[in-house]
Copies of this chain bind each other. A is one copy, B any other.
Amino acid sequence: MESGALTPPARQEPRGDLDGCTARLRELLGREAVITDRQRVRTYECDGLASHRSVPAVVVLPENAEQVRAVVATCSAHGVPFVARGSGTGLSAGALPRSDGVLVVTSRMRRILELDVANERAVVEPGVVNLDVTRAAQPYGYYFAPDPSSQQVCSVGGNVAENSGGAHCLKHGFTVNHVLAASVVTPDGEEVELGGPAREAPGYDLLGAFVGSEGTLGVVTSITVRLLRAPESVRTLLAGFPTTDDAGAAVSAIIAAGITPAAVEMMDALSISAAEQAVRCDYPEGAGAVLIVELDGPHAEVEHTFTEVSEHCTAHGAFEIRTAADERERALIWKGRKSAFAAVGRISRDYIVQDGVIPRTALPDVLRRIAELSASSGVRVANVFHAGDGNLHPLVLFDGSDPGETERAEEVSGAILDLCVEHGGSITGEHGVGADKVRYMGRMFTPEDLDTMQSLRCAFDPEGLCNPGKVFPTPRLCGETPGRRRGVHPLTEAGLAEQF
C-alpha cells in the first residue's frame, strides 16, 4: 500500500444527535446491521489512500434501497453527517469516514436486478462488483466498459461516485458514458430518478452532474448501465522506444491519423525496471519507454489499423515491436503494466500515486519538466500513464523514515499538479478530489467557478451532512436565502484565503 500526504486526522466536533440517530438506525435496520464496536468500525477508517484516516462513529450495512433511504432520512433528521462507501478502493480519500457520523457501506447490495440484453443494459445495486457486471453479460456477448485497475474488487456505486475510467476509457469513455439512469437518495432522504432509459431526456441532465460528484449529492441505490457488445477482434502490441519523447511522438502520430485505439499505455524506464523485478514481464531490453497499444472492433478494421499503428511506431524510433499471438501473450504484455504500481513498492519504501491530466500535445514538455523536478530535488519519479488521453500517473518515490523526505516528495507531487494546471490540464484524471486534493481546487478554479459548483451542493444538501469535507472546502453555511449571490458561500476571497 502506498502512503502519501500525512494529513493530520481532521478533528470533528460532534454535530448532531448521534446517540438518537444510532438508536433509531437500530430500530430500522436491526442491531446486526448497525456497528458501533470500536474494533469493528476501525476496519473502515480509510479507503485506498491510507494516509488519510478517521474512524467512523457508526457503520451501517443496508440491504436494499428502502433501508438506504431510511438511513439517510434518519441522519438528516438528527443532523448527523454521513458518508457512503462501496468497496473502499478509492485513491483520494473520497470515502474517508466522519468520526462524528455514519458510514453507509453498500457491500450487502450486490444484486444484479435486471439484465436486458435486447436493449443493451443492466440494472444493478451499488455494491455490485465492477467485473461481475461483465461476467453476467459475457454469455450474451456483452460487457461493461469501465475498467479501473481495481475492477475485480471495486463497486459500480463507487465507479459512479468517482466517474471511474481505466485503461480502455480512451476509446470507450468514462463511467458517465456508460450510465443511463440512477435511483438516488438525496441528502434529505428522498428517492429520485436521474436520467432514464431513453438516450435523450428533457430537463436538466442531473445524472451527468451526479456521476463523479464523489458522494456529495446523495447515495445511489440502483444504476442502469449500458452494456457494450464484445468486440469481434482484439489486437495488442508492445513497442520499445529509446526515449519517452519518441514514444510520445508515436502516440501523437497515431491519434493524428484518426485512429482511436481502445488503449494506449506508456511506461518509462524506472517503472519498466520495477515491473521487470516484480513480475518478469520481459519487456524489450534497454527501452527508455514502452507503449502498449490495444485495438478492438470488427476484424477487418482491426487488422488494417494494426498495420498502420506498427508503421507509426517504427517511424518514430521503435526498435522492437511485439504482437500478442494469443490471449496468454496478451495477458503477459498487460501484466507488466498492471503490476506497475505494486512493483514500485519493491524499489521504494513509500510512494505517492499522483493522478493528473494534460493535453496530449504537452506530453514531451511536461515529461521533461518532471525529469527536471526529479533531478533538482533528488526525488525519484516513475511514470506510468494512459498516454492516449494525457492521464499521467507519476509515482513519486520516497522513504518516510528519512527525515524531510516525505515533505520533499509531497512538494514534487504538488509541483507536478501545478505543471498539469499550467498546461491547461486537470488535477485529477480518474482518482477524484476526495479529501486529498481539496487543497488544490483553488489552483484550478476561480472563486466564481467554485461558487457555482457549490450552489448545486447547497441545493441538494443545505445542511452539509452528505460526505462533508470532500471535493470542496465545506461551506460553513449554505446561507439564509437561496442562490449563488447572497452570502451563500464562504469560498470567495476571505474564505479561500483561509482554506488554502
A residues near B, CB below 8 A? 118-119, 163, 165, 174, 176, 186, 188, 190-194, 196-206, 208-209, 211-213, 217, 229, 231-232, 258, 297-301, 303-305, 357-361, 389-391, 424-430, 432-433, 437, 441, 444-446, 448-453, 455-463, 471-472, 478-485, 488
Given contacts A186-B452, A456-B459, A478-B483, contact A361 B208 (CB under 8 A): no
- A198–B298 Cα distance when bound, in Å, is 29
- A390–B196 Cα distance when bound, in Å, is 14
- A445–B488 Cα distance when bound, in Å, is 29
Q: Can you identify 22 A-B contacts, CB atoms within 8 angstroms?
A: A119-B361, A186-B452, A192-B451, A193-B445, A193-B446, A193-B449, A194-B452, A197-B425, A198-B357, A198-B426, A199-B357, A202-B433, A202-B441, A202-B471, A209-B209, A297-B301, A300-B300, A300-B304, A455-B460, A456-B459, A458-B483, A463-B483
Given contacts A196-B426, A484-B190, contact A206 B456 (CB under 8 A): yes
Contact A204 B483 (CB under 8 A): no
Residues of B within 8 A of A424 (CB): 196-198
- A191–B451 Cα distance when bound, in Å, is 11
- A201–B421 Cα distance when bound, in Å, is 11
Residues of B within 8 A of A359 (CB): 119, 197-198
- A304–B299 Cα distance when bound, in Å, is 9
Chain B minimum-CB-distance residue to A420: B198
Residues of B within 8 A of A188 (CB): 483-485
- Report the minimum CB–CB distance from A247 to chain B (whole Å): 18
Residues of B within 8 A of A460 (CB): 452, 455, 483-484
Q: 4 tightest CB-CB pairs across the interface, nearest first?
A: A208-B208, A301-B301, A462-B483, A300-B304
Residues of B within 8 A of A361 (CB): 118-119
Contact B212 A205 (CB under 8 A): yes
Residue from the list B176, B425, B471, B482 in contact with A198, Cβ < 8 A: B425
Contact A430 B200 (CB under 8 A): yes
- Report the minimum CB–CB distance from A171 to chain B (whole Å): 12
Residues of B within 8 A of A471 (CB): 202-203
- Report the minimum CB–CB distance from A187 to chain B (whole Å): 9
Residues of B within 8 A of A298 (CB): 258, 301, 304-305
- Report the minimum CB–CB distance from A132 to chain B (whole Å): 23
- Report the minimum CB–CB distance from A305 to chain B (whole Å): 6
Residues of B within 8 A of A484 (CB): 186, 188, 190, 459-460
Contact B448 A192 (CB under 8 A): yes
Contact B448 A191 (CB under 8 A): yes
- Report the minimum CB–CB distance from A120 to chain B (whole Å): 8
Residues of B within 8 A of A303 (CB): 300
- Report the minimum CB–CB distance from A100 to chain B (whole Å): 21
Residues of B within 8 A of A450 (CB): 203
- Report the minimum CB–CB distance from A454 to chain B (whole Å): 9
Residues of B within 8 A of A425 (CB): 197-198
Contact B202 A174 (CB under 8 A): no
Residue from the list B174, B190, B200, B211 in contact with A163, Cβ < 8 A: B200
Contact B462 A459 (CB under 8 A): no
- A444–B449 Cα distance when bound, in Å, is 32
- A17–B299 Cα distance when bound, in Å, is 67
- A448–B192 Cα distance when bound, in Å, is 6
- Report the minimum CB–CB distance from A74 to chain B (whole Å): 15
Which of A300, A428, A445 has the most chain B CB atoms closer than 10 A to its own CB?
A300
Which of A427, A450, A484 has the most chain B CB atoms closer than 10 A to its own CB?
A484
Contact A202 B301 (CB under 8 A): no
